[in-house]
């Protein structure tokens, strides 16, 4: 087991060294190409100063070390294949491919890092949007389940009976508010949720939430919380 661990560490160490060297090579190649293509002879023949060397080291290393992120975004498992290989010879070709990527990354370091950062941010936003949709769906399902639980409790001894108000007893309301009250008057349920009312009336959750807030403030509707699920429930005020 120790041999396997030490072999994996050695493979990782060797891969990182190869990536860094390739990144630096690519960055050096970019600077060399810029010097060769410079129009002024004095610039092309100027020796590298400390700032240039520092730029090559930093940009080359940064570009090389984000290559695994680039491959991950592209759903490429080449890094995993290399690190889990039993021998170097079995993945030599894949190591050369990664090294080639690092050379290209180093040669285009600033643009490569910037574009990759943008892709990573876009991917994060996309995943965040998916998580929000899943969370919203789960919340909606929980609200509907809470309505069913409350409806099942209607027949229990001591349960509070749903308040039912005839249309004549209702105060003047808008058409949308009347739909909300009609949903709350539905005898199939003891208490209602925003999701349940939205599905029954066809109104958006935002609109239902807005109307319920107004009805609660006016004293026509009571807002409470389910002791079982923690979901906010609504019922007609007695």
For residue range 16-59, list pLDDT tens digits in order: 898 899 888 888 888 777 766 654 444 444 556 677 778 778 88
Phi, psi dihedrals of residue 233, rounded to the nearest 5°: -120, 160
Contact 26, 103 (CB under 8 A): yes
- Long-range residue pairs from 16-21, CB within 8 A, at least 24 positions apart, any chain: 18/95, 18/98, 18/99, 18/102, 19/64, 19/65, 19/67, 19/98, 19/99, 19/102, 20/60, 20/61, 20/64, 20/65, 20/102, 21/99
Q: What percent of the chain has pLDDT over 90?
A: 8
Give the per-residue pLDDT at 159: 45
Asked whether the predicted pLDDT for residue 212 surpasses 70, the reply is yes
Q: What does the pLDDT average to over 98-117?
A: 85
Domain boundaries, the chain: 2-107, 138-236
Query: In the structure, what pLDDT confidence band is assigned to residue 202 with cuts at 50, 70 and 90?
Result: very high
* Cβ atoms of 63 and 112 closer than 8 Å: yes
CA distance 35 to 24: 16
Q: Which of these ranges, 37-46, 62-71, 188-197, has the smallest mean pLDDT?
A: 37-46
Which of 1-5, 29-33, 103-107 has the largest mean confidence?
103-107
The confidence score (pLDDT) of residue 140 equals 85
The whole-chain average pLDDT of the chain stands at 79
**Once rounded to an integer, what is the mean pLDDT over residues 109-126?**
80
The whole-number average pLDDT for the span 106-123 is 81
Q: What is the pLDDT of residue 173?
A: 78
Which pLDDT value is given to residue 198? 92
Could you count the other beta carbons within 10 Å of the beta carbon of residue 66? 19
Confidence band of 2 (pLDDT split at 50, 70, 90): very low
**Which CATH code for domain 138-236?**
1.10.10.10
Quote the CA–CA distance of 39 and 177 in Å, as a whole number.
76
pLDDT higher at 121 or 177:
177
Which band of pLDDT confidence, cut at 50, 70 and 90, is reported for residue 153? Answer: low
Q: Does residue 105 carry a pLDDT above 50?
A: yes
Q: Kindly report which listed range (41-55, 138-152, 206-220) carries the lowest average pLDDT score.
A: 41-55
Listed range (1-15, 65-79, 198-212, 216-230) with the worst mean pLDDT: 1-15
Residue 157's pLDDT is: 42
């Amino acid at each position: 087991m120790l041999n396997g661990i030490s072999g994996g560490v050695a493979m990782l160490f060797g891969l990182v060294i190869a990536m860094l060297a390739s990144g630096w090579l690519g960055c050096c190649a970019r600077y060399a190409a810029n010097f060769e293509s410079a129009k002024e002879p004095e610039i092309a023949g100027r020796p590298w100063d400390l700032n240039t060397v520092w730029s090559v080291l930093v940009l080359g290393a940064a570009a090389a070390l984000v290559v695994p992120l680039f491959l991950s975004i592209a759903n490429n498992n080449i890094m995993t294949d290399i690190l889990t290989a039993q021998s170097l010879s079995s993945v030599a070709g894949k190591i050369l491919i990664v090294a080639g990527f690092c050379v290209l990354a180093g040669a285009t370091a600033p643009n490569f890092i910037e574009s990759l950062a943008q892709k990573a941010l876009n991917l994060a936003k996309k995943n965040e949007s998916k998580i929000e949709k899943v969370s919203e769906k789960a919340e909606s399902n929980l609200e509907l389940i809470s309505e069913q639980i409350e409806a099942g409790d209607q027949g229990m001894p001591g349960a509070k009976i749903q308040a039912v108000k005839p249309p004549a007893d209702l105060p003047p309301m808008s058409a949308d508010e009347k739909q909300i009250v009609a949903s709350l008057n539905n005898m199939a349920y003891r208490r209602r949720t925003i999701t349940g009312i939205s599905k029954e009336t066809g109104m958006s959750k935002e609109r239902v939430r807005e109307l319920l807030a107004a009805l609660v403030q006016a004293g026509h509707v009571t807002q409470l919380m389910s002791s079982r699920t923690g979901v906010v429930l609504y019922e007609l005020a007695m």
